[in-house]
Structure 1
Amino acid sequence: MPRISDRQRIAQDIRDKIASGEYGSGAKLPSLREMSAHYGVSAEPVRSALLILQAEGLVEGHQGKGVYVTGTRPATD
């Protein structure tokens, strides 16, 4: 079984939290530092995961203010 990269694992965890409603529409995500500590990784995989989610339209970043969940929710399987 192939190993899932940290950025993919983090992106999927955040997707799951958005889908479950833990991170609702308009919710501010934890800071980069907090997520790095939570996932036990450096800031780079967290940044990469957030870029993936931003490209999917699930989150949007606001310079100096943080990253927020958009109104879009991922499809649940």
Structure 2
Amino acid sequence: MSQIIRRIGVPPSQRGSTGGGNCPDIFELADGNFAVIGRDATDSLDPDLPSDASRAEYERIVVVTRETLIRAKRDIPDV
């Protein structure tokens, strides 16, 4: 498993989270992939996946807030 090298975007505290209950986050990993902390919505969204999308049994559908992704945009590399 790869290591976290940096946060993408701002910390949850800068998005109004004062406790541990609302902390979506995005991290860049040493191998170039990204890790996401978000709300597990697999059970509710899995039936709505388009016919050309799939999910392996070990994968989960994770939701992050719009603000989390927008504030991470400037830190996401183009390549």
Scaled to the shorter chain, the TM-score interval is under 0.3
Q: Which structure's residues are more often strand, by fraction?
A: 2
The structure with more radius of gyration: 2
TM normalised by structure 1 equals: 0.28
The structure carrying a bigger helix percent of its residues is 1
